[in-house]
Amino acid sequence: MRLPLLLALSLLTAACSTIPRLEASNDLHAFLVAIRDGDRATFDAHVDKPALKAQLRSRLLVETAGGNGAASAPTLGALLAGPLVDFGVDALVRPEVFRAVAIDLGYDTARPLPNVLAIAQFVRPLDSGRACVFTKKGGPCVLIFKDEGGTWKLIGFEGHIGLGRGGKLALSAT
């Protein structure tokens, strides 16, 4: 009697954790289509820019502090340059930039996008209605999405933020 009950509870728990993954995957698919097609309106509908700006600003400050929390000259400069950080984030959060990152990861624009079920394999549910997206099985989170009123929106980027060609801020998933 206990074994069937435990099995039923296990299946129920597994099903509950799969539902957010599939819901998130639907919006992630729409996000990927917007990136592929350069559809700025749909892309923007799946990005919480204030949350993403705050997260990226925080990461830039931590990275310029060298992880030790000390107030270095670059950290103070980054703190004082808040509008410049906002400008940099606005320049990064565009479908074209995300498409370039995807191509850098090996995505071929001639190939079809993965379907919702394939995308769900790369979504890991987190706490508070959030989900992590990773690019390699068992790899680290690269993108963080949050369910905001039934739409999953990008709120965090955990990949590499650095200077690209010409001294411009650049994103990388590695």
Residue 39 three-state SS? coil
For the chain, the domains span: 18-172
CA distance 94 to 87: 12
Reported as a single tens digit per residue, the pLDDT across 123-166 is 998 888 999 998 888 888 889 999 999 999 999 988 776 544 44
Helix, strand, or coil (residue 131)? strand
pLDDT for 164 equals 47
CB 30 within 8 A of CB 42: yes
Distances (CA, A) of 67 to 58, 63, 96: 12, 6, 30
Span 80-134, pLDDT tens digits: 556 776 777 788 888 988 888 777 767 777 888 888 888 898 899 888 899 999 8
Query: Which of the pair, 142 or 4, is modelled with greater confidence?
Result: 142
Q: What pTM was computed for the model?
A: 0.73
The total number of residues shown for the chain amounts to: 174
C-alpha 22/C-alpha 108 separation (Å) is: 24
